[in-house]
Structure formats: structure tokens, C-alpha cells
Amino acid sequence: MNLAGLHRSSVRHTLLLVLLTGMLCAVGAQLVLTWRTAVEAANAAYDRSLLGAIKSIDANISSASGGIGVELPYRMLEFFELTASGQVDYRVATEDGLVEIGSPDLPKPAEPLTTGQPQFMDAAYFGEPVRVGSYARLLDPPLPGGAADQRIVIQVAEKLSSRQSFTRSLVLQAVARDLLLVAAAGLLLAGGVAWALRPLARLRDEVRSRRPDDMTPIAGLAIPADVQPLVEAINFHVARNRSMSEARRRFIDDASHQLRTPLTTLATQVGFALRVQDPALMGEALRAIKSQLDETVRQTNQMLALARTDAADVASECVDAAALAEGLTRDWWATAREAGVDLGIDAADAPLWVQVHPGLLQEALSNLLHNAIRYTGRGGHVTVRLQQIGGQAAIAVCDDGPGIPADELHRASERFFRGSNVQLPGSGLGLAIARSIATRHGGDLQLAAGPGGRGLVVTVLLPLDPGPPPPPASR
């Protein structure tokens, strides 16, 4: 049987095929057992009748005259022939075969006879199957010149046609009964399976009738328990698609919102540069255009980074956060010197192992360093501190710039939010990117005012990891 093809067929056909096939196999096994039971029942009943005929002949055997005399019970034999539906043959003989009455060529017992215990066997007599009953008892009185324990053997044989007809009748009745049961069970199975699959049909109709933009979960109240895992998996998949669709929609809205003004400004500045005749004014306009382009490129890159952190799968690995932060801080030293900012690092003594995507963590820290260096201004100080707080690795970027008003700190990591005390242009996405990356790695982003209420401290908290396994010992 092609199981793969069976699984691809409908559930209704699969259930009916498997269950009906199993029932037919069970019926076949039952018919074999029924046949054996019928044969045993027929033999038990007919053998009792056969033993009755033997006992009737035995009761009419006499050895008082010095020989064996048998007065056959003809009426009993006629009744037995009627019951056996055929001729009945008999044999009465001494065990040594010296005296023999009846049919001397009846098949002899297959095994030695036990005195007083009948023995029955199937045999062939003149080419026809017969059932032979044999019985032996002590001859009392024994024949003259015979041994004291001389026995007489009585055998009666009947044809098997009556037994076979009885057995066949029982089996045919069982076949008719079982086929009727299989037919009734098949109808019940078909109706039961159809009724049990109705919730799946309703589920199919519900899914088909949905609008293309309908991403609500499928209600599983009337769904069988066996199908609930499938519905849950579908709902999980729908939720992921909804999240991705919302991320794409949010990105499109954000891009249209953030790029419309810079592009309009660029168009105005280009138009001004084309109209102006003074080389000095034209140079100033071109510098303004370049500055606006740089800011637009940075905003676009930040929006792309935020979209990537919202939608991309995180393939994490065990990373030393202290080493990663230290290396990234060194990369920003040139930018900090150009901006006139003193950038330093206060690293932990021991490694801080975390399970993260290294590229995303670098993206988060780069945004924090960019904001700190830019808004602190010339002559300011920015410090990257790393430490272990409980079961978390804390990477804090501290600056002594203008900071964020205390009543606005809770909104500072929202998309496109900018503090009311900020004068420089920006997108308001740096902190949002850092928070999104931290939460996707099971961590958090915390904001607080610096020492004495001056500046800003942004801390990325990530769960600590036991670290990589030790290298195998060398031999």
C-alpha cells in the first residue's frame, strides 16, 4: 500500500478505507474461528450420537454361550442412520481379531484404545470420508481359552455429509451476520466521519470567505482537539505575517513622513543654486545641499536599520559584550576627535558573555555613540561603561550634554520623538533602534539623567550567557 498516496487523499476516504479494511480482516479472522468452533461443536454433538450407537450395540453383546453373540438394535441403528443422513457401518470383534462381526475392513483405531474410553477419528472408507467411533471393554465372561483380560472392540462409522452440512450452515449464517454488521458499521462510519469533519468544512468556508487583508486569528472554539494544533500553527503564521505587514506599512509611512520634508528642502536648495549668480552664494548653497543630503542619507539608513531589526530573524551567537563594545568605541575615536569630544571606555575586568547577533548589537551601540557625540558638543565627554548587574550585562553610554527633560524620558525611545530642548536636526530613530535590538535579544533599554542631573545615561541590558565551552584539552 502506498502510504504517502493514502495520506494525500481525503481524511474521509482514508478513515473509511483503513477502518473498513481492518473490519474485513477482523471478519476474516472471525470466520476462521467460527469454522473451527462449528467443526468442534458438530463433532461434539454427532460424536455423542455415535457413542450412543456404540453403547446400544455394546448392551446387546453376550459371551455367555461360549462365543460372541450380538443382537443388533435395528430401530436404534435406523434412527442413527436417519440422523447421520446415510448408511451406518459397524464392527464388533475381539481385540485379537479371532472373532469378528460386521464390516471387518473398517479403519482400525489410530491409537491404542483405553478400556472404557471412546476414541473418535476421521478416516476414509471406500473413498468417502467417515467418522469412526471406537470403544473397548473387558469381555465378561471371557471366551474359552482366552486371557482373563480379553477385550472386545466395538466400532461404528458414519459419513461426514451431515456434519459438513451442519458446519456449513453455521458458517454461512456467521458470514451473513458479519457482512450485515460490516455494512451497518460502514454506514455508521461514513455518517460519523462526515459529521466529525463538518467543523473542518466550516473552517475551510471561514478561511475562504475572509478578505485578503483580514489577519485576525482563527477562532478555534468549535474545532476538534486533534485539529487545534493546526489552527494554532496557522494563527501563529498569520500573526507573523501580520507583524511583517505592519512593519512594512510602518516603514512606508515612516519613510514618506521623514523623507518628504528633506526632499522638498533639497529641491528648494537646488533651485536656489541654479538661480544664483554669485559664486560665493552658490558655494554656500552647495554646502547646504551636501549637508542636507548627508542628513537624508543618515535618516534613510536609520529607517532601514529599524525595519531590519523589526522584521529580520535573529541568528544569535555567544559574544563577549565587553570586547565588542571596546572595539566599537575605538572605531569611533576618530569621529569623536573631529567633533571635539573626549570618548573613553570603562570596561569590565571579566568577559560579559551574551547571546546576540553581533551586527545588530553594533548597530545599537553605534546609534547611541552617534547621538552622544553629536548632542554633547565640542568640549564634552562621552564614556562607555560595561558591568555586570545581577544576571545581566549592562552597556551604558554616558554623556554630559544637554540630556532630555525628565518628563520626556519615558517617551525618548519612541520612533521619531525628539526632546523639546534639541536644536540640531535629526530623525529621532537612534534610541528606537537600540530599544528594538535590545528587546529582540531578551533585554531592555533604560534611560536616566547623568550625575547631578546633567547629561544622559542610556543603558542596554542583555541576559548573561554561561559562555562558550572550554576548548578540548591537548594531549
Read off the C-alpha cell for 329.
568605541
- So what's the pLDDT on residue 119? 93
Provide the CA 222 distance to its chain's centre, in angstroms: 21
Strand partners, 296: none
Strand partners, 152: 94, 137
- Helix ranges (H only) for 60-160 are 74-84
- So what's the pLDDT on residue 312? 56
pTM recorded for the entire structure: 0.47
- So what's the pLDDT on residue 82? 56
Answer whether 414's CB lies under 8 Å from 432's CB: yes
Among candidates 307, 362, 353, 359, which has minimal Cα distance to 329?
362
Handedness of CA 330, 353, 363, 402 (dihedral sign): negative
Handedness of CA 140, 145, 147, 148 (dihedral sign): positive
Cis previous bond, 141, omega within 30: yes
Among candidates 117, 114, 107, which has minimal Cα distance to 158?
107
Q: So where are the chain's domains?
A: 12-167, 212-312, 317-463
Instruction: Name residue 309's amino acid.
Output: T
User: Which of the residues in the chain have pLDDT under 70?
Assistant: 1-10, 64-66, 72-86, 145-146, 220-222, 247, 250-262, 295, 298-299, 301-315, 413, 415-429, 469-475
DSSP 421: T
Tell me which architecture the domain covering 317-463 has in CATH.
Answer: 2-Layer Sandwich (3.30)
Among candidates 457, 397, 430, 427, which has minimal Cα distance to 309?
430
Strand partners, 122: 131
The 10s digit of each residue's pLDDT in 159-191 is: 887 778 888 888 888 888 888 888 888 888 888
**Site of grid cell 451473513:** 176
Among candidates 386, 438, 426, which has minimal Cα distance to 298?
426
At residue 461, the 3 state secondary structure works out as strand
